[in-house]
Structure 1
Amino acid sequence: MSWCILCHGYMQEQVSWGILFGTDPVPAACEPCLEKLTKISGPRCSRCSRPMEEERVCGDCERWGAGVLDRNLSVYSYTDSVKEIMNLYKFRGDAELVRLFETDIRTVAKQLPKKAMLVPIPLSIERLQERGFNQAELLAKAIRRPILLPLERITSEKQSKKSRRERLAGGPLFKLSSDHLLQGAVLVIVDDIYTTGNTVYQAARLLKDAGAASVSSLTLIRG
């Protein structure tokens, strides 16, 4: 007998070859709850995954310019239901909800370069103590690729509380730790949500300046 991790309702047992051999996770939620996770499909910005009416580079990416972040891949659109689930996962400390996203994020991660190593966006010490886990690091672990931790957060301010203008006008968010050799590395930044792009672009600049050959990002949600 199994229970939905989100609504706590009873789920009928599902059996597949992938589940039997351990290559697929046992479903963590019932179908109605999984349907609340709106996957990005159709035309989107070719650089940041923003859903659009036609496939092209969006205005934000044109302003950022090319050369720092190669590409962002995102899994879900930021709908009201996705926002509600993320509030449970991120702000109310329900780390187990990462199981909801495992299958979908692994599917999108198949588009990443084979040599890519993952760099989860770090939390400040204060935020990590408050929350008890780093949501980006849990997502990176779910992807099952090598993980590096070369970034340190230098501010504890919540980006989610800032306006778009405040985020873009703010100071540096990260610094590089000194014990990582990144020359020639193929890196993918992992974070929970891409909104203005400021967080991943700041991280990408540091990684590129440290010698990374390429830097992309994989984010769970495109806001």
Structure 2
Amino acid sequence: MRKQQGSQRGSTVMAVGMVLAAGVIAWLGGRGDQPVQTRAEASATLPGRAAAQEAQVAYRSVSHGGLPTRIVIPAAGIDAPVVEVGVVVEDGEARWETAWHAAGHHIDSAMPGQPGNMVITGHVSVADRRNAPVFATLDRVREGDEIVVYAGSAAYRYVVESIQVVDPDATEVLRSDARATVTLITCTRDLRHRLVVTGRLAGEVTPGDPA
């Protein structure tokens, strides 16, 4: 009787062992069908890492140019230095200061070659003869003409897309978005309105270019 019970126990243990072994083989076989990721591949698929890689690629496409130092518009015969201008208060009123013997880059606007609206202003006429009307011929510019803005030794070419005459308080021309643009502003010849020329970035000028 005891011998028969021992035989039954052995059969039961063997059956359980076979079931467990079959389960382990099936589990290992299922994992074998799946591709194995390396540590680098696994880390590259993490959301944070992927976003950082995309941002890094996008960042490399953005210019690291500094402040604008010179503007050249061949079609209008304009070649002038560029200096920084900001807001000044005169007689209790805030207004943008005007550059002396140069075009003025609005200090809070975009840099050459970078996304955003780079705003540059200049005189069409001057009361003081020691000053210079650097944008006196800006009205010669037409759509498709080139504007080259230098930042030290680097230079960036913009192509004129629009020319418009607006009221002096038309601040919408200063707005900025993700596009890389340049906005040139001066007075009309009768000094009653503003002449606004807008160009879109076309690329960096190579050293061999005539500009």
TM-score, shorter chain, exceeding 0.5: no
Structure that is richer in helix per residue: 1
Give me the TM-score of the superposition, normalised by structure 1: 0.22
Higher relative contact order (CA 8 A, sep 6+): 1
Give me the TM-score of the superposition, normalised by structure 2: 0.23
Structure that is richer in strand per residue: 2
